[in-house]
Every structure is written in structure tokens, then in C-alpha cells.
Amino acid sequence: MNAEPFPVFVGWDSREDVAYQVCRHSLLERATVPVTVTPLRQHELSARGLYHRPPDPLASTEFTYTRFLVPYLAGYQGWALFCDGDFLWLADIKHLIALADDRFAVMCVHHDHRPPETTKMDGKAQTVFPRKNWSSMVLYNCGHAATRALTPALVNRESGAFLHRFRWLDDGLIGAVPETWNWLEGWCEKPARGHPAAIHFTRGGPWFDEWQHVDYAELWLAEAQSATAARRGG
């Protein structure tokens, strides 16, 4: 690691800008190390010629595939973080950054996630596949030789299964981080004390009227108020 701000890329969806704003705010409010947060906006990446996949009916968000452009966007140098836009950060990201191990090309939570729901968020289909949600929060070792395989050409060409299951890597290059850094609401067991480091509202979050009942909804709503006040300068 060096003194440069640590790059964080967050999935952005035009239908859920509020989720992104709360994710960004919660991460920056608790970070005690320099961090930059960049939204992955599909239309901007398309305008730059970096993304040109045809629409995928199985893609539940606009960042389903753009997340794999992170090593390229980071210049294939150092480490970078990607997370979905529906995260609420409740711990200092420096503790996650400290887990980065140069032996690995990527690091993530190794979930065994098999959701029972058939739909999520705003009616999008809930799909089940091996290594589901592994790619929803990834520490990328962008300078690793194996990570350099993630070129824009490959990201635009390969299947969702190939990308999300990390088939572009040997399994031994996929490091693990504790579940608390990608705690799946509605699936992971609540901690006996305190709260997870990063809550992932993967089924849908309190920004939807029908998802006001989820675990830790009150924390997200409080963060949303704080984020709104910060944007208004109050």
C-alpha cells in the first residue's frame, strides 16, 4: 500500500441513485484513510467505448458486468475495491484494506448463498448460481498478472457465469475475507453483539417502500438522512 488515496468503485444504477449516495456517504464518513469513491455508471463507460455488451435479461443491475472493469480503470496498479451500490458501511474501510494479501489476485467473502426468493429489489428475477454474491464486494489486486486478464475486450465478450464465478482465475488465487465485510441481509446470521462491518441489502433495501421491514433498516434510514443533509450543506 502507498500514501495515495485508496480507490473504491461502487456499482451505480439509475433506478437506485439514493442507494449509491448512502453507500458512498457511509463509507467516507467512517474512513480514516484517504479514499476516492467512483460510481460505475454504465452510460459513461459506454460513451468511453469501454462497455458495449448487449442488454442481458438476467442482469439485475446496470453494473452487473461493469464491475469487472475495475482493474482496467485502476490502471492495473495496486489494490482497489468494488462493492455493489446497496451496501451500508458501518466500519472503517482501513480494516478491510489491511486484509489485502499480495498472494491473491482477488479477495472476497466466500458465500454459500442460495436465496429462497424468486424476485428481488424492484421485481427483478432472483437467480441462484455457484459463488453467488462473491463478486458483489471484491478487493482487486489490480497489478497481479492474473488480474490483468480482465481487459475490456474480455469483459464485453465472456459470459456472466465466466465472470461472476471467477473462472478467469485459478481457485487458489481467490482469497477470503470475513463475512462481516459483505453481510447479506436476510441470509447471514445476525451477530450476537454490535452489527456487521458492511451490510449488503441484496434482496432490496429501505429505499423501496416494500422493504422497510428488513434488518438494520433503521440504520440505513438514519444514514440516508445524514447523506441528504451533507449534500445540502446542513
Interior angle at CA 28, CA 136 and CA 225, nearest 5: 95
Given its phi and psi angles, is residue 173 left (phi above 0), alpha (psi -120 to 50 degrees) or beta?
alpha
Q: What is the CATH number of the domain that holds 26?
A: 3.90.550.10
Q: Which domain holds residue 220?
A: 6-232
Q: Is residue 70 part of a domain?
A: yes
Question: Which residue is it, cell 449516495?
Answer: 21
Cβ–Cβ < 8 Å for 106, 169: yes
- What is residue 202's DSSP assignment? -
Percent of the chain past pLDDT 90, that is, above it, reads 80
Give me the mean pLDDT over the 204-213 stretch.
91
What global pTM score does this model have?
A: 0.91
Give the separation between CA 106 and CA 125, rounded to whole angstroms. 27
| Structural domain count of the chain | 1
pLDDT tens digits along 56-82: 888 889 999 999 999 999 999 999 999
In a domain, 190, yes or no: yes
Residue 7 pLDDT > 70: yes
* More confident call, 123 vs 88: 88
What is the tens place of the pLDDT at every residue in 122-177? 555 546 557 889 999 999 999 999 999 999 999 999 999 999 999 999 999 999 99
pLDDT value of residue 1? 47
| Inside any domain, residue 118 | yes
Residue 1 lies in a domain: no
